[in-house]
Structure formats: structure tokens, C-alpha cells
């Protein structure tokens, strides 16, 4: 009978733990399973009791569960760590399923600007904001990647994230519209803006004119480009793209910090 009560206590307490996982698992993050101490487990036990107190009373089952915690700290902590690991694996499975469902939108949207070989087999997808300092650091690397690799292709997802800088959205829209007007000039435009320390509407417009492209023709494609940027924002949210630059290489989400040769090696 006592064993059944203890099992019931464990079940009740684990329900409380699941309901309050943000708080308790933050506690658990500070506990090394190999070196679990009675003091660290006691902190978790106190949290369980506290939860019961908030509900109005401390049950006998909860008290017996508390005793079990103190008597078997390593077992309990490892069980909770296993539960957390399983939840993380479920999250990864969900992310993989999302990735698979969005592969077409990520890699095969013909409305996205492209640099390098349009038919290249070594494809990098980059979510980018022209006012992002890290994007500016990565830009020469990607430029070298397509220059050194005949199969190199960079799909640019214009992804303005700096809401307090209007030139982010304007540059994204005008860059996309330029691609629709004259795709051959997009790479030069992209690299010119990435090489600029500060952006203004005048600089963006003058860059287009300097490439020998009719600004009126680009503006005529602005509405279509605006729709594409909005679609990219939705895609980024679905893929949990929270910052720029974010790259997708062979289906894996990555960020900066690579050389052109390292990027090329990822496809060999």
C-alpha cells in the first residue's frame, strides 16, 4: 500500500513539474546529473511542495515523494533529465517536419533573388538585412563562394528585421524589384549595399541608377517585390529565423563564421 502511495505521489508531483516546467527545469539546468547532491535535489523537492501549497494543502503523497527525492537524488534527477531530453528530441522532430514541409518555399521560389550560378547545385539560402553588421561581414565570403565555385548559388531571402530603420525594408523591396527588372545587376547592387556603412533612400536609388538601370522600371516592380518580402517574412517566422544572417545549407540552419573554402567544402 505504501509503495502505491509513493507511486501516486510521484505521478502527482510529475504533473506539477510538467505544468511548471519553465521554473523547475531552469532549476534542473544547474544540476549536473553525475554530481547530483541532496542539497540540489532538496531545492527541487521544495519547489514541488511549494506548488502543492499554492493549491491549498500539502498532501501525504507529496510528502512521501519529497522523502523519495531526498533518498534517491541521482535517480530522480536523471529521470527528469531524461524527460527533458525526450522533450528536446520531440521539438527537433517537429522542426524537421516543418523544414521538410517548407523545403519548396525555401529552395525553389523563383521569385527570390539569386547570386552566382542560377542552376548551381551547391545552394546556400541566406536570410539577410542590409543594415545588419554581421550580414555585411558575411557578404564578401558569399561573394567569394560564388566566384570560386562554378556550382555556387546563393538564394537571397530579403528579410528586413530592423523595424526602426526604414531603409531595411526599402532596400529589400528595391533590391527584389531590381532583380525582377534586370537580374544580371542584382549581385552588384547587393554587394554595393552590403559594403556601405550607412544606407539612405538616396544612396539606394543612386546605386540602381549607377548600374545603368531605369529607376522608374524598378519602381514599377515594387508592389510585386513588396509582396515577395512579406512572403519571406512569413517563411522566416515559420522556420524560426530570429536574426540575420541566417543560412540554410543542406537543410541545416547555420549562421556566420565560415570562410568561402569552408562553405565550399560542405558540398564535397
Concatenate the DSSP letters of all residues of 73-126 into one string.
Answer: HHHHHHHHHHHHHHHHHHHHHHHHHHHHHTHHHHH--TTS-EEE-TT-SEEEEE
The predicted-structure confidence for 5-21, as pLDDT tens digits, reads as follows: 444 444 444 445 444 44
CATH topology for the 105-265 domain: Glutaredoxin (3.40.30)
The model's pTM is: 0.67
Lowest-confidence pick of 55-69, 142-156, 171-185, 202-216: 55-69
The predicted-structure confidence for 195-220, as pLDDT tens digits, reads as follows: 999 999 999 999 999 999 999 999 99
Percentage with pLDDT > 70 across the chain: 72
Sequence spans of domains, the chain: 2-101, 105-265
Amino acid at each position: 500500500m505504501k509503495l502505491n502511495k509513493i507511486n501516486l505521489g510521484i505521478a502527482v508531483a510529475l504533473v506539477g513539474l510538467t505544468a511548471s516546467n519553465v521554473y523547475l527545469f531552469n532549476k534542473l539546468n544547474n544540476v549536473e546529473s553525475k554530481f547530483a547532491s541532496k542539497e540540489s535535489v532538496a531545492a527541487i523537492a521544495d519547489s514541488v511542495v511549494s506548488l502543492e501549497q499554492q493549491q491549498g494543502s500539502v498532501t501525504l503523497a507529496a510528502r512521501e515523494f519529497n522523502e523519495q527525492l531526498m533518498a534517491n537524488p541521482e535517480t530522480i534527477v536523471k529521470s527528469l533529465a531524461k524527460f527533458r531530453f525526450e522533450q528536446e528530441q520531440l521539438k527537433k522532430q517537429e522542426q524537421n517536419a516543418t523544414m521538410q514541409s517548407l523545403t519548396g518555399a525555401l529552395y525553389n521560389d523563383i521569385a527570390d533573388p539569386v547570386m552566382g550560378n542560377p542552376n548551381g547545385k551547391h545552394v546556400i539560402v541566406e536570410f539577410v538585412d542590409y543594415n545588419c553588421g554581421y550580414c555585411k561581414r558575411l557578404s564578401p565570403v558569399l561573394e567569394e563562394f560564388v566566384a570560386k565555385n562554378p556550382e555556387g548559388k546563393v538564394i537571397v531571402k530579403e528579410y528586413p528585421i530592423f523595424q526602426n530603420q526604414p531603409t531595411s525594408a526599402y532596400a529589400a523591396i528595391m533590391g527584389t524589384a531590381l532583380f525582377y527588372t534586370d537580374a544580371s545587376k542584382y549581385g552588384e547592387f547587393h554587394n554595393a549595399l552590403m559594403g556601405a556603412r550607412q544606407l539612405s533612400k538616396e544612396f539606394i536609388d543612386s546605386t540602381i541608377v549607377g548600374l545603368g538601370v531605369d529607376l522608374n522600371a524598378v519602381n514599377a516592380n515594387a508592389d510585386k517585390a513588396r509582396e515577395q518580402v512579406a512572403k519571406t517574412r512569413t517563411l522566416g517566422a515559420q522556420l524560426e529565423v530570429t536574426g540575420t544572417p541566417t543560412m540554410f545549407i543542406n537543410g541545416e540552419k547555420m549562421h556566420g563564421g565560415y570562410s568561402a573554402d569552408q562553405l565550399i567544402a560542405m558540398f564535397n
